[in-house]
Amino acid sequence: MAKVGGRAPRMMVIGAHPDDCEYKAGGLAALYRQSGSDVCFVSVTDGRSGHQTRYGPQLAAERREETAASGRVLGVEYRVLSYPDGALQPTLEARDEIIRLIRQYDPNLVLTHRPNDYHPDHRNTSLLVCDASYLLTVPAVASQTPALARMPVIMYLSDDFQRPSPFSPSVVVDIEPVLDSVLDMLACHRSQVFDWLPFNRGELDQVPSNRDQQRQWLRDWFLGVLAPLADRHREAIILAYGEEIGRQIRYIEAFETCEYGTPLTPELRNRLFPFLPDEG
């Protein structure tokens, strides 16, 4: 992978909950790791509320184990912060922790939720990252951790929300070659993909009891969720990959540039996403 500032680029994905990173950026993480670049996943909350029968410290501990298993699939560093699931607030304490976290890892690319989202934890995670962006370079803020000389590129994970503005991808990435790795990571979050999320959708009775069948069920469900993203952003795919290849791509991840970080110039885009056709 092309170097940025003398080293291979580093990516940090900051999600609100354990498993948010995998759903929206697991494919990009797999491509980064294939290229020899480091990736860090962050869950800002502890996931303690994400189950229909188990919750509190017991579930938080279980989900921490699930994130560790997921991180081992690709060799991704996975950090889970201690803010309670469902109760995240954009406090100064939380903002300083995010600032220190980003400074310590020093990523070239940071991905997070958009600020308009159905879940308050997602919205507040986005707010914390966006509020941290400029302050990363201010030595007097969170002064116990040295300030960065330059902000990273910050981009939003994809969503379907339309107001106040719909998601508009700056980068689209074909992830079909690494789909098995994404599924391997998601399958580690058993309390979610085979339990809570099907329950929440009213589909728990459809989940097979056999583990091999569960994996196929997860694949079928996830690809059904993922496929419309490529159809929705077909023009962006064709622009990135060309007409012939762009028409054939079925599964993508998409990212929208946040205007608060370092601008995503064509040169930076080529360095941070070298597996895409060169933008020139």
- Tens of pLDDT along 155-165? 999 999 999 99
Q: pTM score, two decimals?
A: 0.96
CA–CA distance, 132 with 221 (Å, rounded to integer): 35
Cα–Cα distances in Å, from 29 out to 26, 37, 200, 249? 5, 9, 27, 19
- In this predicted structure, what is the pLDDT of residue 278? 87
pLDDT tens digits, 78-101 = 999 999 999 999 999 999 999 999
Using the predicted structure, report yes or no on whether residue 226 has a pLDDT greater than 60: yes
Nearest-CA neighbor of 132 among 151, 117, 113? 151
Provide the pLDDT confidence category of residue 6 given band limits of 50, 70 and 90.
Answer: low
- Give residue 223's pLDDT band: very low, low, confident or very high (50, 70, 90): very high
Taking only the tens place, the pLDDT of each residue in 18-68 is 999 999 999 999 999 999 999 999 999 999 999 999 999 999 999 999 999
* Residue 167: pLDDT over 80: yes
Distance CA 237, CA 82 (A): 38
Give the pLDDT score at 2: 57
User: For residue 273, is pLDDT > 70?
Assistant: yes
pLDDT at res. 280 = 58
Residue 168, judged by CB atoms within 10 A of its CB (0-12, 13-18, 19+), counts as exposed
Write down the pLDDT at residue 7. 75
Across the range 118-140, mean pLDDT stands at: 98
Point out the least confidently predicted range of 2-6, 211-215, 267-271: 2-6
Task: Count Cα atoms within 13 angstroms, Cβ side, for 161.
Answer: 16
Residue 48, CA distances (Å) to 81, 101, 225 in order: 12, 22, 25
For residue 43, the model assigns a pLDDT of: 98
- Domains identified in the chain and CATH numbers: 11-272 (3.40.50.10320)
First to last CA, the chain: 17
- Mean per-residue pLDDT, 214-224: 97
Task: Provide, rounded to the nearest whole percent, the portion of the chain with pLDDT above 70.
Answer: 98
Tell me whether the omega of the peptide bond preceding residue 277 falls within 30 degrees of 0, making it cis: no
Q: What are 10-19's pLDDT values in tens digits? A: 999 999 999 9
Q: What is the pLDDT of residues 247-257, one digit of tens each?
A: 999 999 999 99
Query: Residue 117 pLDDT > 60, yes or no?
Result: yes
Average pLDDT, the chain: 96
Q: How confident is the model at residue 233 (pLDDT cuts 50, 70, 90)?
A: very high
Q: In the prediction, which pLDDT does 279 show?
A: 76
